[in-house]
Amino acid sequence: MGLHALGDSAWLFKVGGSSSEKKLELILRLRRLLELNPIPGIVDIVSSFDTIAVHFNPSDGQTVLDHLTSLQLDQAGNQQPFGGHTITIPVVYGGDHGPDLQALADARNFTVPELIESHRNTEYTVAAIGFSPGFPYLQGLPPQLHQPRHSSPRKVPAGSVAIAGDQAGIYPFASQGGWHVIGRTDLTLFDPHREHPALLQPGDKVRFVETKTLQKTKPDPPYSVASLDGIQVIEPGALSTIQDHGRWGLQHLGVSPGGATDPVLASIANRLVGNPDDAAVIECTMTGPVLQFDADARVAWVGWANEASGRPHQIKSGGSIDLRSRMSHLRGYVAVAGGIAVPEVLGSSATDLRAVLGGHHGRSLQAGDILPIAHASTTPVSDKWHVSWPHPDGHLMELRYLRGVQTDWFTEEAHRLFSENFYEISPASDRTGTRLKGPKLKLREPREMVSQPVVAGSVQIPPEGQPIVLMSERQTIGGYPQIGHVISADIPKLARAWPGTQVSFRQVDLDEARHAWNELQRDLGILNVGLMTTEHMHLKDVQPQIDGMNADERRDLKF
């Protein structure tokens, strides 16, 4: 038992116990203790089978640690037991709804009716919510139904009832999955428009009942926005989405924070047009869009290798911008004074591509899309400003990292290879994770890992031994061992790096990680002071103003 640093943005508490049931019971008691004793610094609380993570802004790590220490987490067993609800799930077994049922019955030497009876004649406990919004990991699968997952994932329909290993689960959304699908339910496990979006939560009990038919799914309500001046997408670019700073505080429901993969560049673009940092922008990957404006607009874009990038521009009604030119970073951002006015979902305008929610219809932009613009309510930034910071890192990049929760699982050779070699960013990388190619990293011995919470920057090592650094649209819990955690201050520059960039890793401690985070906030603060002036000045000119600020004033400058 004890607290572990989960990167520099979460504390992880792992419990001991004689059985998986006892461990989960203790986790649920611990979760109740934390929920009854909140403090402002805690962003979210995410629990899994035998671990619980307390998430926070990197600048609040010590404050949260002091709070957790004062609660005497080791005494959580004295808490009142968590009283969950019991939910009945109707299932149509087999056929097109359960394509793996017959093969699974054959593998376990059951008849199909026997397997169905064994599956539904059990009470399950929701051990965790993760993988995708509302996905329940169910504890209690009878041992005679335990079966390794498929060797490779395939497309699984929404509502699929499945089993893998010693767990059962239900897919809330159509997604890739490696579990054995034995049936399907028509219940909506996650609806972002409900008061309580997730049907299930950790500690709830689940029982399955067999049914013969499924109800037709109700269509989503029509997508509509207020009649505002807009932007027409003429060419969308390789991958363009609407993003803000993400939907925080919902990881316990399996909802990824998401948001801008590089919040630093997104903030700079917003500041150049006088927006707050978290206004909705267009995130572009590899190539930019062609946009036409049907009203006068104040626009800025950052991340391109030309003099127009990093400046505010006044675009006349009927005018257009063509951003298909070479980008200096892998990702760039386009901001419009007032922000892109798409509807908020769960408190954010960010597009979650995996869950298909938020942004513009939950998807990337397409030619012909019309994006409404909110009316600007702030003073324009001087058009004399040109921001070229941060500069591209080139083809070589150093990433600082903290020890991973499973550091000791890896061989000494794996640690040497990880810290002494370069890894190349793979073209298969995306908003979920940056995939790296290089020396394979091995465990000391084969072992199964119980899924646990993760953070942005977690360096997971899947069975093939190639590292994956989790990014903004990551899952909330993961089942691969973590050799390290890239510090929060270095994640934005990783988001800017092109495939083919060579990456090296250097281990640091929490003090250096926090110092690096504070330095990043300080640089953004200097920029902010400069942009509030009306005449052109260099960053060095506003340094005395920053140096003269007290700690509280500097704290207000963070993005």
Q: What is the pLDDT of residue 159?
A: 96
Task: Please write the tens of the pLDDT for every residue from 90-113.
Answer: 999 999 999 999 999 999 999 999
- Per-residue tokens: 116: 């169905």
Task: Please write the tens of the pLDDT for every residue from 364-377.
Answer: 999 999 999 998 87
Mean pLDDT, the chain, whole residue set = 90
pLDDT-based confidence at residue 75 (cuts at 50, 70, 90): low
pLDDT-based confidence at residue 167 (cuts at 50, 70, 90): very high
Q: What is the pLDDT of residue 536?
A: 44
Q: At what angle do helices 510-531 and 539-547 cross, to 10 degrees?
A: 110
Q: What is the pLDDT of residue 553?
A: 39
Q: Where in the chain is the domain with CATH 3.30.1360.40?
A: 2-78
Task: Please write the tens of the pLDDT for every residue from 35-64.
Answer: 989 999 999 999 999 999 999 999 999 999
Q: What is the pLDDT of residue 392?
A: 80
Is 2-78 in CATH node 2.60.40.10?
no
Q: Where in the chain is the domain with CATH 2.40.100.10?
A: 91-210, 396-508
Task: Please write the tens of the pLDDT for every residue from 22-39.
Answer: 899 889 989 988 998 999
Is residue 258 scored above 80 in pLDDT?
Answer: yes
Lowest mean pLDDT among 17-21, 213-217, 276-280, 417-421: 213-217
pTM of this structure: 0.90
Task: Please write the tens of the pLDDT for every residue from 265-279.
Answer: 999 999 999 999 999
Answer yes or no: are the C-beta atoms of 130 and 189 closer than 8 Å: no
User: For residue 51, what are the CA distances in angstroms to 3, 127, 201, 450, 451?
Assistant: 10, 11, 15, 9, 9
Q: What is the pLDDT of residue 556?
A: 35
Which amino acid belongs to residue 353? L
Q: What average pLDDT does this structure show over 181-193?
A: 95
**What is the Cα–Cα distance from 241 to 396, expressed in whole angstroms?**
28
Is residue 296 scored above 50 in pLDDT?
Answer: yes
Is residue 135 scored above 80 in pLDDT?
Answer: yes
In total, the chain counts a number of residues equal to: 559
Q: What is the pLDDT of residue 539?
A: 45
**What is the Cα–Cα distance from 393 to 388, expressed in whole angstroms?**
13
pLDDT-based confidence at residue 220 (cuts at 50, 70, 90): low
Classify domain 396-508 at the CATH topology level: Cyclophilin (2.40.100)
Q: Which residue has the higher pLDDT, 363 or 84?
A: 363
* Residue 198, burial from CB neighbour count under 10 angstroms (0-12, 13-18, 19+): buried
Residue 395: alpha-carbon gap to chain centroid: 26
CATH top class, domain 91-210:
mainly beta
**What is the Cα–Cα distance from 226 to 370, expressed in whole angstroms?**
12
Which amino acid belongs to residue 220? D
Q: What average pLDDT does this structure show over 188-212?
A: 95
Task: Please write the tens of the pLDDT for every residue from 383-427.
Answer: 777 888 888 888 899 999 999 999 999 999 999 999 999 999 999
**What is the Cα–Cα distance from 517 to 66, expressed in whole angstroms?**
20
Q: Could you give phi then psi for residue 275, rounded to 5 degrees?
A: -85, 160
Q: What is the pLDDT of residue 176?
A: 85
In sign, the C-alpha dihedral spanning 215, 221, 222, 223 is negative
Answer yes or no: are the C-beta atoms of 259 and 472 closer than 8 Å: yes
Answer yes or no: are the C-beta atoms of 508 and 399 closer than 8 Å: no
Task: Please write the tens of the pLDDT for every residue from 518-557.
Answer: 999 998 888 877 776 644 444 455 444 544 544 443 443 3
